Structure 1
Amino acid sequence: MTTREDVEFRSDGDICRAWLYRPDSADAPPPVIVMAHGLGAVKQMRLDAYAQRFADAGYAALVFDYRHFGDSDGQPRQLLDIGRQRADWNAAIDFAKTLPSVDGDRVVLWGTSFGGGHVIATAAGRDDIAAAVAQCPFTNGAASTLTIGPTTLPRLLARIGADLLAKARRRDPVMIATSADPGTPALMNAPGAKDGYLRLLPPDAPFRNEVAARVGMAIPLSFPGRAARKVAAPLLLCVCLDDEVAPPGPTLRYAAKAPRAEVKTYPTGHFDIYVGDEFERAVTDQLEFLRRHVPLG
């Protein structure tokens, strides 16, 4: 049996809200897995399924929403800022280490999609991480930007420019869709991306399918995969070989340079790994990795 409670912590003055999963039958404080989602997503979008499986196996899990999204505070809403999200990761880790019910000396990072890139970058900058898991990770901003398609790029750039102007004038952000159909300006508009993304969303989740457009200027310049060579902890990369959002090629090249990286590949698209048989394969591989590198007891 496991329990889940609502907890919160501060990141640069704002409150991040989270779920803490704990196995009831643990003989000793268990390792804790700090978890967060991807591009504009919230924790209700299937992270509970992963956390429950980890807790059933004996691990604690802290699943949080970034500032500006979901249940967490932060204004303006839907502001996707890479630096702020990385700060949220560090704040979540520091908070997890203080929890009396877990083993704060054994913290694991788990991130998916955009959050997978954050995991790589965050683990590279800390020496107190026991292990890290990056699922279908965003590792190369240039490669991901190319998936948007050239025909929609001018309209996307126009929205980015309008939002940067709004920021300079201290006005409300100009939004861009997080996911959309092909040919529509969005951060993700590859075939199947919109349906796959929204399929993860349960009813009544605090979610909007849009973000402040200014992040579209930062994404092509972001290459978190390059930090993999600096990750000292064991690192598991779960790579979707047919990934239409985070192309696998750069991730596999970065993995080859990481000192303790392990790679598991799946013949599937970016959003298929969250559900069905591919979810079962991925979570099984992740638990096997955890049992070897962060054993219980």
Structure 2
Amino acid sequence: MTRVDVSFESGADRCAGWLYTPATEGAPRPTVILGHGLGGVKEMRLDAYAERFVQAGYACLVFDYRHFGASGGLPRQLLDIKKELADWAAAVAYVRRLEGVDGDRIALFGSSFGGGLVIDVAAADGRISAVISQCPFTDGFASARASGTISTVKVTALATRDVVAAALGRTPVMAALSGPPRSASLMSAHDCEPGYRALTDTAPAFRNEVCARFALAIATYFPGRRAARLDCPILFALCRDDTVAPAAASRRHGERAACAEIVEYPCGHFDIYLGDAFEHAVGDYVDFLHRHLPVA
């Protein structure tokens, strides 16, 4: 396979990405677009999934959201739901313009918070061929409740300060993405800090912080509700012991989708990126793609 650095415009900035293509020539390839979750960057194992998809015959685009990783955008570490949805739409538009790929056969792969975003993107687009939603954030209330009262209070205080700082044009107030239980972090369950750390060994661009104002938007975002609007196949890959995006909430949303497949893995939110859990899941994903988006 080949991997080249690419970029595409989104709003007033550019998103950086990697474009993977199989080494063998042939008919235009169906393409999988991959995006990460809460504060994640493409080096945090998205390349591992992309490599498996390319080996199975697909082209792949992996990208960083604006304000994160190698992409543009100021202030850094700003997580804005509307902007990230726009980044996904820009990535789809970019792929549809590429030569050598089949722009009418595009699959979306989103993980964690990205697993919720891809539901929204596919519902709005109407032309997406398939969706893989891995350990997805589908229900803001369920995820906020999973954070625990003490962490929620601490992060809310930081978020309020950050909103004031933004209004006054001051330096953003940051909150940790992951931390120990009861800490002022967005993810504070017992497995969150070591789980995130395990994914960042090969991601020098990763920063364990985000502009705290995002915390005020978590509890009111319910992308899972749009699953019922999808007319394309969607695979919900749930982690049974998920402490970040509770599987029960995602299962309820998935059961309302007309063309959903729901698979549960006996692991935690961060385990699915590594080891046996990764091998099991990525094999299921390739099978799902081959059934619904076959390679010529």
Q: Is this a same-fold pair by TM over 0.5?
A: yes
Q: Which residue of 1 aligns with 2:295?
A: 296
Q: Unaligned regions of 5+ residues in structure 1, if any?
A: none
Q: Which residue of 1 aligns with 2:230?
A: 231
TM-score, scaled relative to structure 1: 0.98
C-alpha distance in 1, partners of 2:29/2:19? 12
C-alpha distance in 1, partners of 2:48/2:220? 32
**Across the two proteins, how many residue pairs are aligned to each other?**
296
**Letter matched to residue 4 of structure 2:** E
C-alpha distance in 2, partners of 1:129/1:281? 25
Moved more, 152-161 or 57-66: 152-161
* Aligned residue runs from structure 1 range 203-282, under 5 A: 203=202, 205-282=204-281
The answer on whether the counterparts of 2:44 and 2:202 sit within 8 Å (CA) in structure 1 is no
For 1:5-37, what per-residue CA distance to the aligned partner results, in whole angstroms no more than 9, with x for missing partners? 000000002010000010011421110101100
The answer on whether the counterparts of 2:19 and 2:61 sit within 8 Å (CA) in structure 1 is yes
Q: Which residue of 2 aligns with 1:107?
A: 106
Q: 1:50 to 1:204 in 2, by over 3 A?
A: closer
C-alpha distance in 1, partners of 2:107/2:169? 38
Q: Which residue of 1 aligns with 2:140?
A: 141
Q: 1:176 to 1:233 in 2, by over 3 A?
A: same
**Letter matched to residue 114 of structure 2:** G
C-alpha distance in 1, partners of 2:154/2:257? 37
C-alpha distance in 1, partners of 2:49/2:138? 22
Q: Which residue of 2 aligns with 1:13?
A: 12
**Letter matched to residue 189 of structure 1:** S
TM-score, scaled relative to structure 2: 0.98
C-alpha distance in 1, partners of 2:203/2:98? 30
**Letter matched to residue 162 of structure 1:** R
C-alpha distance in 2, partners of 1:170/1:151? 29
* Aligned residue runs from structure 1 range 69-218, under 5 A: 69-203=68-202, 205-218=204-217
The answer on whether the counterparts of 2:134 and 2:237 sit within 8 Å (CA) in structure 1 is yes
Shift of residue 239, structure 1, vs aligned partner? 0.5
C-alpha distance in 2, partners of 1:130/1:278? 26
Any idea what SS the aligned residue of 1:28 has? Answer: coil
Q: Which residue of 2 aligns with 1:45?
A: 44
The answer on whether the counterparts of 1:20 and 1:62 sit within 8 Å (CA) in structure 2 is yes
**Letter matched to residue 183 of structure 2:** T
**Letter matched to residue 64 of structure 1:** F
Runs of 4+ that moved beyond 4 A: none
C-alpha distance in 1, partners of 2:153/2:205? 30
Q: Which residue of 2 aligns with 1:284?
A: 283
Shift of residue 152, structure 1, vs aligned partner? 2.5
The answer on whether the counterparts of 2:139 and 2:249 sit within 8 Å (CA) in structure 1 is yes
C-alpha distance in 2, partners of 1:259/1:294? 18
Any idea what SS the aligned residue of 2:130 has? Answer: strand
| CA RMSD after TM alignment | 0.8
The answer on whether the counterparts of 1:3 and 1:22 sit within 8 Å (CA) in structure 2 is yes
Q: Which residue of 2 aligns with 1:32?
A: 31
The answer on whether the counterparts of 1:26 and 1:58 sit within 8 Å (CA) in structure 2 is no
C-alpha distance in 1, partners of 2:74/2:150? 32
For 1:118-144, what per-residue CA distance to the aligned partner results, in whole angstroms no more than 9, with x for missing partners? 011111111110111000000001110
The answer on whether the counterparts of 2:178 and 2:208 sit within 8 Å (CA) in structure 1 is yes
C-alpha distance in 2, partners of 1:26/1:170? 52
Shift of residue 204, structure 1, vs aligned partner? 5.4
The answer on whether the counterparts of 1:44 and 1:202 sit within 8 Å (CA) in structure 2 is no
Q: 1:153 to 1:5 in 2, by over 3 A?
A: same
Identity between Structure 1 and Structure 2 (%): 50
C-alpha distance in 2, partners of 1:22/1:130? 19
The answer on whether the counterparts of 2:43 and 2:202 sit within 8 Å (CA) in structure 1 is no
The answer on whether the counterparts of 2:151 and 2:188 sit within 8 Å (CA) in structure 1 is no
For 1:38-93, what per-residue CA distance to the aligned partner results, in whole angstroms no more than 9, with x for missing partners? 00010000000000000011100000000000000000000000000000000000
Q: 1:135 to 1:204 in 2, by over 3 A?
A: closer
